[in-house]
Every structure is written in C-alpha cells, then in structure tokens.
C-alpha cells in the first residue's frame, strides 16, 4: 500500500537539522528586524526666544532667533546628527543663516530636543521693516519669517537628510520676545 512515515520514524538527525534551520531563520529574522534602519523623524518644535535689536543709524532690525527641533530615533541603535543648517528668509530673500556640525547623538528608541540660534538682519531693501517695528502707534508688530532647515543624520554606514520648511510669526516691536 502507500508508504506512511510518521515524525517518529524520521531519524533524529533530520529533526535536529529542521530545528536548527528554524532557529537560524528566527535569529536571522530578528537580526534583520533590529538592524534594519527605521526612520528618524525631525519635527519643528517652534521658536522659543526672539531677541530684537534695532540699529537706528542704518535702519536695521537684527533678530536673534532660538529655534528647537525634535528628533525622534525609532532605531535600536544610536544615530548621529552630523550637521544642521538653517536659512532664515523674509519676503523670499535670505536674511540669515546658521550652520553647525557634530550636533548630537540620539540614543536608541528616544527623542531629543536640539536648540539652535540663527541671526537675521533686515535692512537695505528691507529698511521699511525698521520703521514698521518701531512705530509706537502699532501695538503688535508681527512679521512672518520663513525657515528652511536641513539635518543630516548618520547611522550604521548610512547618511540621510531631512528638511523642514516652516513659517513663523515674530513680534519685532520689543527688545525681547519669549514665546
């Protein structure tokens, strides 16, 4: 009749080989899961402080802007934020920049706030901003700035770049604005 083999009829060396293969496959799957790169998320956490300085002689407004990024590492290993650069724009013109390297190490499965301070100068073709910001009859002196920020992140031999583009309202009427 037909040949029927039970699991007990198989030699024990075959069963051990199958178990070893399953264990090896499970170990390989776990290694791939834990080492496979997950995304590193970069979010804007807003502007924390703006210090406003006026140069009456040159009709110049100088903004010192402290901004914060929230960087989330969902990997099972540390990632390095190797560089951070930001452009501050007013009316589609770059009025300030900030660049730094070797920013931070983000531990596995955590998030970290990264602060940076950029300086923007508005004068020359934007000298009207000085007059707008210093007119005492206006109670709120909001201007809109545009920030383009780029972060380079390195992990397990890979280099990725995340970019953010954000708009912020800044009150340029006082010496210092804490938000």
Look at 20-24, 48-52, 165-169 and tell me which has the smallest mean pLDDT. Answer: 20-24
- For the CA atoms of 119, 178, 164, 54, the dihedral, rounded to the nearest 10 degrees, stands at -30
Please answer whether residues 159 and 152 qualify as being in contact, where contact means their C-beta atoms are separated by less than 8 angstroms.
yes
Indicate whether 33 pLDDT > 80: no
- Could you give the CA distance from residue 76 to residue 155 in angstroms, rounded to a whole number? 11
The token duo for 149 is 């920020």
- Could you give the CA distance from residue 5 to residue 162 in angstroms, rounded to a whole number? 59
Domain-wise residue ranges, the chain: 1-36, 37-178
Q: What CATH number does the domain located at 37-178 have?
A: 2.60.40.10
Stretch 82-102: mean pLDDT, rounded?
96
Strands 176-178 and 142-155: unpaired
pTM: 0.77
Look at 27-36, 88-97, 162-171 and tell me which has the smallest mean pLDDT. Answer: 27-36
């Amino acid at each position: 009749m037909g040949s029927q083999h039970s699991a007990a009829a198989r030699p024990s060396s075959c069963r051990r080989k199958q178990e070893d293969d399953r264990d090896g496959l499970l170990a390989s799957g776990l290694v791939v899961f834990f080492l496979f790169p997950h995304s590193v998320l970069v979010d804007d956490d807003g502007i924390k402080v703006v210090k406003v300085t006026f140069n009456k002689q040159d009709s110049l407004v100088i903004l010192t802007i402290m901004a914060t990024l929230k960087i989330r590492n969902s990997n099972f290993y540390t990632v390095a934020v190797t560089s951070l650069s930001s452009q501050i724009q007013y009316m589609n013109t770059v009025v300030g920049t900030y660049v730094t390297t070797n920013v931070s190490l983000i531990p596995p499965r955590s998030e970290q706030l990264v602060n940076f301070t950029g300086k923007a100068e508005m004068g020359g073709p934007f000298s009207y901003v000085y007059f707008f910001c210093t007119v005492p009859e206006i109670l709120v002196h909001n201007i809109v700035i545009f920030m383009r920020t780029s972060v380079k992140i390195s992990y397990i031999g890979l280099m990725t770049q995340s970019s953010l583009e954000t708009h912020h309202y800044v009150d340029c009427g006082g010496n210092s604005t804490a938000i």
